[in-house]
Structure 1
């Protein structure tokens, strides 16, 4: 295991940073995973206008979810979300960042 992988595992195990969630691939069985939530505002430019939108992003470990796809479901507590857009991996190929929308 690389040093980076060990650090990622520690971050995802920390109860102050990550939390339990359920990942359900389209047509698959539920899997208990750990996620790091990021609810950031996003500003998109459209011509001269700037559009503000509330976003929900999470990080998933590649070791737990090797191939997330748009339409897969994530349940965090009592909230359910669907992955929208293409997931993006980090440079070390250890973490997926995915955009979510309410289910």
Structure 2
């Protein structure tokens, strides 16, 4: 295991950083996973306008979710979300970052 993989395992095991969630592939069975949530605000430029929006993103371990797709469902603390857009993997290919919308 690389030092990066070990660091990811430590982060996702930390109860102050990560939390339990359920991932359900479109048409699949529920799978318990760990997620790191990011609920940052985002400012997007559109022409001369700047739009503010709340975003919900989570990090998923590639070891737990090999191929997340738009339309897959993630449930966190009783709240349901759908993956929107294409998931992105980190440089080390250990973590997916996915954008979520209420669902």
**Bin for the TM-score computed over the shorter chain:** over 0.9
Match of 1:59 in 2: 59
Task: State the distance in 1 between where 2:4 and 2:16 align.
Answer: 19
| Match runs of 1:88-103 below 5 Å | 88-103=88-103
Match of 2:14 in 1: 14
Residue 78 of structure 1, CA deviation: 1.0
- For normalisation by structure 1, the TM-score amounts to 0.99
Q: Which runs of 5+ in 1 are unaligned?
A: none
- For normalisation by structure 2, the TM-score amounts to 0.99
Task: State the distance in 1 between where 2:102 and 2:52 align.
Answer: 18
Q: Say if 2:5 is the partner of 1:5.
A: yes
User: How many pairs were matched up?
Assistant: 103
Task: State the distance in 2 between where 1:51 and 1:78 align.
Answer: 29
**Residues 15-56 of structure 1 deviation map (CA, whole Å, 9 limit, x = unaligned):** 000000000000100000000000011111111100000000
Task: State the distance in 2 between where 1:46 and 1:91 align.
Answer: 29
Match of 2:47 in 1: 47
Query: Matched residue of 2:27: which SS?
Result: coil
RMSD of equivalent CA atoms: 0.4
